[in-house]
Structure 1
Amino acid sequence: LLENWHPLFASMGSQIHHLGELGAGMSVKVLNNYVASSSVVTVRRVLDACQALNVSPKKLLQIMSESSGGTWYGNQFHEIDWAREGYSAENTIGILEKDVKSFLKAVEAEPLPEDSLLLERLRRLKPFDPEG
């Protein structure tokens, strides 16, 4: 039955994973996007610090992609069209806020301090200007 839906799935992404029961894919999406949201905040934090530390953001991203600091977001920073956006409820950064809230709802948990901080950091993201 799933093979009939393959063209639709392929139009949404190149990596298709069969995860089991109905809803498992949504659960994995929520978990994955929580981690992605965390990495966006962290990568943007270090990029914002580059000027003060006299480090090239481009060089830092290159080094991170080749070492322990590598993340999907950081490794693809120059290709991701929304990578430099600041927070707005209407853009992709705003969608990350929704993803964090979806994670918290899915696990039926009150936010831990780090969850609240992640939401706050997403909301405080300013557009990134590599020139400072």
Structure 2
Amino acid sequence: YWVDTTSGHPGESQRIAADLKSQGVVFFDCAVSGGPAGAAAGTLTAMVGGDRESFGKVKNIIASFAKNIVHLGPSGAGHAVKAVNNTLLAANICSVSEGLIALKKYGIPLDVALKAINTSSGRSWVTQQRMPEHVLTRGFDYGFSLGLLCKDVDTCMGMLQESGLPAPSLRSTRELIQVAKNILGDESDHLEIAKIIEDWSGETIE
């Protein structure tokens, strides 16, 4: 068995799975989410694609580093969901940054605003954890690079292209984070996207 915990293009994962199958090896694309803290604690989410009948053979291995293990379908499914998940993350960082700056312009304390948002329909992991713990504190220290986020978003863009889907919101997100990467560099924390939006707005998120 081969369990690939990187992120990648689902089409490439399918080709790898087919090549390995011809050699008697069962391949699983097993993309993970949860960041460095989740990896250290063994509480990652694992997004798994591959043969369902063989999945039980590797599930216990995956459980050594992941708490939430979801078998999503055939080869490529794990990498597909990871790419879309991280594109949604990027879109959320952009939209939450813009929204919080708008609230600050109205004189509303952002920590108080987030308390309301986080018990309302606009809440997300970005509003509940990443903004209060890593942006409002000015730490920008989550530990996931902007370059890696852009790689996942580009994978999603490839999926959209292959599927013939317009997806204007997701494509706009890609343009925004590409600008951020060009300015900040690959090694910047992905949450530093907020700094670019701050610069454009003339206001800080704190």
TM-score range with shorter-chain normalisation? 0.7 to 0.9
Cα offset, 1:8, TM superposition: 4.0
Q: Give the match's secondary structure for 2:84.
A: helix
Contact 2:87/2:170 (<8 A) preserved? no
Asked if residue 3 in structure 1 is aligned to residue 46 in structure 2, the reply is no
Contact 1:104/1:110 (<8 A) preserved? no
Cα offset, 1:7, TM superposition: 4.4
Cα distance in 2 for residues equivalent to 1:115 and 1:5: 33
Q: Structure 1: any 5+ residue segments left out of the alignment?
A: none
Which of the pair is proportionally richer in strand? 2
Q: Which amino acid aligns with 2:172?
A: L
Asked if residue 48 in structure 1 is aligned to residue 101 in structure 2, the reply is yes
Of 57-66 and 116-125, deviating more is 116-125
Of 100-109 and 54-63, deviating more is 100-109
Could you tell me the percent identity over the aligned residues? 27
Pick aligned residue for 2:174 from 110, 119, 123: 119
TM-score by length of 1: 0.73
Q: Give the match's secondary structure for 2:106.
A: coil
Asked if residue 70 in structure 1 is aligned to residue 134 in structure 2, the reply is no
Cα offset, 1:58, TM superposition: 1.0
Alignment coverage as a number of residue pairs: 127
Q: Which amino acid aligns with 1:118?
A: T
Q: Give the match's secondary structure for 1:62.
A: helix
Contact 1:39/1:73 (<8 A) preserved? yes
Q: Give the match's secondary structure for 1:17.
A: strand
Aligned alpha-carbon RMSD (Å): 3.2
Q: What residue number does 2:150 align with?
A: 97
Contact 1:104/1:111 (<8 A) preserved? no
TM-score by length of 2: 0.50
Of 65-74 and 5-14, deviating more is 5-14
Q: Structure 2: any 5+ residue segments left out of the alignment?
A: 1-53, 181-192, 199-203
Of 48-57 and 102-111, deviating more is 102-111
Of 45-54 and 17-26, deviating more is 45-54
Q: Which amino acid aligns with 1:59?
A: V
Cα offset, 1:80, TM superposition: 5.6
Of 105-114 and 26-35, deviating more is 105-114
Asked if residue 19 in structure 1 is aligned to residue 72 in structure 2, the reply is yes
